[in-house]
Chains A and B, each alone.
Chain A
Amino acid sequence: MLADPIGTLARPADSTRVLVPSGVLGLGFDREALARGVALAPDIIAIDGGSTDSGPCYLGTATSKYSQAVVAGEWQELLEARHAAGVPLVIGSAGTCGTDHQVDALLEITRDWAERRGVAVRVATIRTQQDAPTLIAAHRRGAVHPLSTNAGVKAGERDGERDETLADTLAACTHIVALAGAEAFIEALQGDADVVIAGRATDTALIAALPLMRMGLTGPSAGAGTDAGAAAGAAWHAAKIAECGALCSTRPSSGVILVDIDARGFSVQPLARGACCTPFTVSAHMLYENADPHVLVEPGGRLDVSGAHYEALDERSVRVTGSRWRSDPRYTLKLEGARALGHQCSSLVLVREPRYVQRIGEWCALLEARIRTDIERHLDVPADAVTLELRRIGVDAALGALEFETGSPVEVGILLIVTASDADTALDVARLANPSLLHLPLPDDDAMPSFAFPWSPAESVRGVLYGFCLDHVVEVEHPTALLRIAAVTVGSPAGEIA
């Protein structure tokens, strides 16, 4: 039997080795590859726990997108891996949205595991949730800045026109989080944490932190008189490449990635069998979910990869040099906020009768007019208090007016979405629409048709609709000014020290 060829790559003596199990906790990872990573003596295990990418509901409600059972199972596996490797385990953006509640939830899983295993674990928590009055005060000092003209205070508004100040928007948020930078993780790691659980943080900060700390690249004087821009560039670029796990490789779903970072550059390799990193897969990852392919803005500065050079070390590993970090004169934290925009109900009806399918556009126009007439006749609400959408599944539900193809569907699903200012109105409008969805005839049809409701009740209460409403940064005096870092030892104090 041949020796395992994966991970045998020579590693610079002064490098920091970061093991990234997957792009996000809850998504799964290749267990064999994780075990291989632990055996390769990493200096830290780092994983992201969240994103805005699944929509505003999670921040709006302080909930997690992933199954709690899956998250708990994976987190316990990582705690075991950390215990075996004897190095810190770091997570950022706990529970999708990174609110304090989600930090506490992961802390509890950690506590349960430690007590069951009979080991003591020193946990640092980084809480990044913000309260509106503090940010309103910062706004009045001129310390909150919009990031784009696209969002501003109007982002997420139902009509996009409501005249509102930023202070009102901040006050209306159900939850606000700031994205922590690398300095918060460094402070936690300098306190000898075994496990760091952070609220919302940039995906890259949790990976860049330890290499930056070991290279002495923190604090206001970092970089003076040295080639610190290149060294910090290597750390941040490695972090960006590894933050989505194996997405920078030819087998994205395999999860596990290993990066070795030194002052001159970094190397990256996937740890699952059959997965490869190539100069193309690695350099292309800078495009992913990033508006500017050359620049990544982070708290305290920006990564510039326009001079980066990508070299294949073998058929599955890549070395990257030439990236630069440029510090900004002022340190800012990005803010995310979500607020309630209304209440929603939905109904789905399936139209299968061929003559109705053929004339579905005409039928939908009739249906909408009928529902609007009924609202006017029966409900005592202003016309603009209710938004109606009829999406034609099988025709143009995904693209709407931008749909460019026409086909001949066998059936069409009509998805009615009602958004109203209160829950009772939303449900009542959906109920009022029910008979029309079920029976509305075309004008030249002498029989009353019946279409297919897939369930009873036909109406589904979707609850509160949340919207992202902040696209801002807040200027801070020092990197952890708005963050709360604490340490606690969980598990059995009398037990083995982890």
Chain B
Amino acid sequence: MRVADLTRRVRAKNAGPFRLTIDCFCATDADWRRLCTALPAYRVAQALAAGPDTVIRYELPSLRVLKFSLPRPGVQGAVGDRDLHGAQWALVIEALALPADA
């Protein structure tokens, strides 16, 4: 089971040059509840090589969205930045493996 199996779309986007925000959109309430149970903030931090305490997690039941915001992994446009708009990081989250019983 991967995050992609419980979501209809994962979107990553800059929230200004210094922060990144990732929205996981679920199709059903059941998928959203399973995702909320299976995906704590520290897993997202690990996946993006971010500090464990830097990821803020929001559960948004009315939108069936699980949202994560964190310092951007590298300032936008600085040496080493590979993606100015930060969209490709969504693919890393989509591919995250979840516990089999999620």
Contact = CB atoms under 8 A, between A and B. Distances in A.
Nearest to A147: B18
Given A399-B92, A402-B49, 20 more contacts: A55-B76, A55-B77, A148-B19, A151-B18, A151-B75, A156-B75, A289-B14, A290-B15, A291-B21, A292-B58, A294-B58, A341-B79, A397-B82, A399-B91, A405-B95, A466-B77, A468-B75, A468-B76, A468-B78, A471-B16
B76 A284 contact: no
A284 B65 contact: yes
A55 B17 CA distance: 8
Q: Chain B CB within 10 Å — which of A147, A150, A155, A465 has the most?
A: A150
A289 B82 contact: no
Nearest to B16: A52
Interface residues of B, number: 39
Given A150-B19, A287-B21, A158 B60 contact: no
A400 interface: yes
Closest A-B pairs by Cβ, 10 of them: A150-B71, A291-B69, A55-B77, A291-B15, A468-B17, A151-B18, A56-B77, A398-B88, A55-B84, A156-B75
B43 interface: no
Given A54-B84, A55-B76, A56-B76, A292 B48 contact: no
B70 to A, nearest CB: 9
A465 B75 CA distance: 13
A342 B79 contact: yes
Q: Chain A CB within 10 Å — which of B48, B71, B75 has the most?
A: B75
A177 to B, nearest CB: 13
Contacts of B67: 287, 293
B88 A399 contact: yes
Contacts of B63: 280, 283-284, 287
Contact of B18 (A150, A284, A289): A150
Given A148-B19, A293-B58, A341-B79, A287 B88 contact: no
Interface in A147-174: 147-151, 155-158
A288 B18 CA distance: 15
Q: Is the interface of A mostly helix, strand, loop or mixed?
A: loop
A148 B23 contact: no
Contact of B79 (A55, A284, A287, A419): A419
Given A283-B63, A288-B13, A465-B79, A148 B71 contact: yes
Contact of B15 (A157, A289, A387, A398): A289
Interface in B50-102: 54, 56, 58, 60, 62-63, 65, 67, 69, 71-72, 75-80, 82-85, 88-89, 91-92, 95
B75 A402 contact: no
Contact of B62 (A148, A156, A283, A465): A283
A289 B21 contact: yes
Contact of B76 (A52, A148, A157): A52
B47 interface: yes
Interface in A18-69: 52-57
B92 A156 contact: no
